Structure 1
Amino acid sequence: MVRPERPATLPGCRQAIDRVDAALATLLERRAALAGIVQTLKPVGGFAGRDMARERALVARMAEHAPELGEARLVPIMNAVIEAGLSLAEERSANGRSPQPETTA
């Protein structure tokens, strides 16, 4: 488990949140790109190809890393993340663009 920062001031807290948000945005975009690749590999893709059992297992694993959030709070978050990734994959497919491959820096 990651120890949270404990800034002592409101500006310090907001700066810490901004750093977390920037990292989270980068990870969400990376996840969406990977999910887009998954959509090209599945026999049935998009929203019709959602694997609810896998999604439940994903949330359960995440709750192990974030027990204070717990499964009940993580379900709507991950549902939104999954739907955003699927939406992006469908948009890219409709525009004839393939998912962006991960790059290594």
Structure 2
Amino acid sequence: MRTVESATDAADPMVRLPLTREVRSLQEARAAIDEVDAALALLLARRAELAGAVQRLKPVGGFAGRDPHRERQIVEAMARRAPALGVDRLARIMNAVIEAGLEAAEDAREAR
């Protein structure tokens, strides 16, 4: 399995993240979690960059420009892909992701 080293790698369908059924030991389980976490970190960074682009394009950006309907659509779509997590858990996760992305966009704007 190729190591996830960039957001492009993490999104590449040729990068195969570890499957739970292939994990045979605690060490393998932890290594698999590390691979998933590496991919997740890179994907979250990429999402934050894209959210920053959205903030630049919206008439009202930042926390004031949040769109609850759009956020609900995102969560519902994710819940269809990850039903074991469910809408409520994913809503909490995505709220944290969205808020972190907005904060990162604000920080980047202030740094310019």
Band of TM-score, shorter chain: 0.7 to 0.9
Name the residue aligned to 1:77: 93
- TM-score, normalization by structure 1: 0.87
Q: RMSD over aligned Cα, in angstroms?
A: 1.4
- TM-score, normalization by structure 2: 0.81
Q: Spell out structure 1 runs of 4+ moving beyond 4 A.
A: none
**Deviation of residue 3 (structure 1)?**
8.6
Q: 1:5 aligns with which of 20, 23, 33?
A: 20
Matched, 1:29 2:45: yes
Report the CA distance shift for 1:91/1:51 in structure 2 as closer, same or farther (over 3 A): same
Query: Could you tell me how far apart the structure 2 residues matched to 1:13 and 1:43 are?
Result: 45
Report the CA distance shift for 1:22/1:3 in structure 2 as closer, same or farther (over 3 A): closer
Q: Percent identity?
A: 60
Map Cα deviations across residues 12-68 of structure 1 (whole Å, 9 max, x no partner).
000000000000000000000000010000000000000000000100000000000
Q: 1:61 aligns with which of 71, 77, 101?
A: 77
**Deviation of residue 95 (structure 1)?**
1.4
Query: Could you tell me how far apart the structure 2 residues matched to 1:4 and 1:47 are?
Result: 37
Q: Which runs of 5+ in 1 are unaligned?
A: 97-105
Query: Could you tell me how far apart the structure 2 residues matched to 1:55 and 1:4 are?
Result: 29
